[in-house]
């Protein structure tokens, strides 16, 4: 997609990409985004689960949500996502940094009104948070779908930004006897914990982490 004044950073523009492949990969890995908007002169920012399908980002919320009702009619929003890969530990606090992958996009909501597209979007969000769970769960009722607002945001003004690599220490600092390097970070899904009603049930296959056996 074409860069715009809002998707071109004022610093370190060389770290920015505008191609769909880079943007979609980050959106697909991230579980949550932050949706920001100005309502009646007051800024609001709401973290929420989301899913990307095609060139749209989908979120959901209660039909009674003040924030959802404020943006469902097309108010401009900024949606941000950040994945943190490592803490960058330099020889000076000034040169500390973070290795990250992020997306910033600007869009306006398109309310999904029809029942089946709404239900499909809710399936995408559910499957992203807990993969392969939709068919295992009790089916969502029509009443539940009606009580939920689904908003779609077209991905047409967006950019991805990255930082990778080791610390960028000042030349005069490199010989100092101070440790520098990376502290890698990762998000993992650990073994699920059953609630009281599920103690006697076997863990379904879709909830078993790939690196353990139960």
132: domain CATH number is: 2.30.110.10
Q: Residues 61-109: pLDDT tens digits?
A: 999 999 999 999 889 999 999 999 999 999 999 999 999 999 999 999 9
Q: What integer pLDDT is reported at residue 74 of this predicted model? A: 86
Quick check: is 196 in a domain?
no
pLDDT in tens, 19-35: 999 999 999 999 999 99
Q: What is the pLDDT of residue 68?
A: 95
61: in domain: yes
At residue 211, the pLDDT reads: 57
Is residue 202 situated within a structural domain? no
Q: Does some domain include residue 201?
A: no
List Cβ neighbours of 96 (8 Å cut-off, separation of 6 or more).
87, 88, 89, 90, 167
Residue where the block lists tokens 């606090």: 93
What is the spatial distance between Cα 156 and Cα 55, in angstroms, rounded to a whole number? 8
Is residue 4 assigned to a domain? no
Residue 213 has pLDDT above 70, yes or no: no
Instruction: Tell whether the model's pLDDT for residue 10 goes beyond 70.
Output: yes
Taking residues 180-184, what's their average pLDDT?
Answer: 98
Domain extent, residue 168, equals 13-183
**Pair 171, 72: CB distance under 8 Å:** no
DSSP annotation string for 193-213: ---GGGTTSPPPGGGS-TT--
Q: What is the mean pLDDT of the chain?
A: 94
Q: Which residue has the higher pLDDT, 60 or 15?
A: 60
C-alpha–C-alpha distance, residues 71 and 82, integer Å: 22
| Residue 193 belongs to some domain of the structure | no
Q: Given phi > 0 = left and psi -120 to 50 = alpha, else beta, which region is 49?
A: beta
Is position 168 within any domain?
yes
> 6 lies in a domain?
no
- The pair of structure tokens assigned to 119 is 């239900």
As for how many domains the chain has, the answer is 1
pLDDT in tens, 102-148: 999 999 999 999 999 999 999 999 999 999 999 999 999 999 999 99
């Amino acid at each position: 997609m074409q860069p715009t004044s809002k998707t071109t950073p004022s610093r370190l523009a060389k770290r920015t990409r505008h191609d769909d492949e880079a943007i979609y990969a980050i959106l697909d890995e991230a579980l949550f985004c932050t949706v920001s908007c100005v309502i009646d002169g007051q800024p609001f920012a709401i973290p929420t689960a989301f899913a990307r399908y095609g060139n749209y980002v989908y979120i959901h919320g209660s039909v009674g949500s003040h924030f959802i009702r404020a943006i469902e009619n097309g108010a401009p929003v900024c949606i941000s996502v950040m994945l943190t890969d490592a803490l960058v530990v330099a020889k000076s606090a000034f040169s500390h940094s973070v290795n990250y992958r992020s997306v910033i996009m600007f869009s306006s909501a398109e309310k999904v009104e029809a029942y089946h597209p709404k239900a499909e979007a809710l399936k995408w969000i559910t499957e992203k948070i807990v993969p392969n769970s939709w068919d295992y769960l009790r089916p969502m009722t029509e009443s539940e779908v009606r009580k939920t607002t689904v908003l779609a945001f077209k991905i047409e003004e967006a950019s991805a930004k990255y930082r990778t690599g080791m610390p960028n220490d000042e030349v005069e600092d490199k010989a100092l006897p101070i440790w520098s390097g990376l502290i890698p970070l990762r998000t993992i899904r650990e073994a699920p914990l059953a609630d009281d009603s599920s103690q006697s049930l076997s863990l379904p296959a879709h909830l078993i982490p790939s690196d353990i056996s139960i």
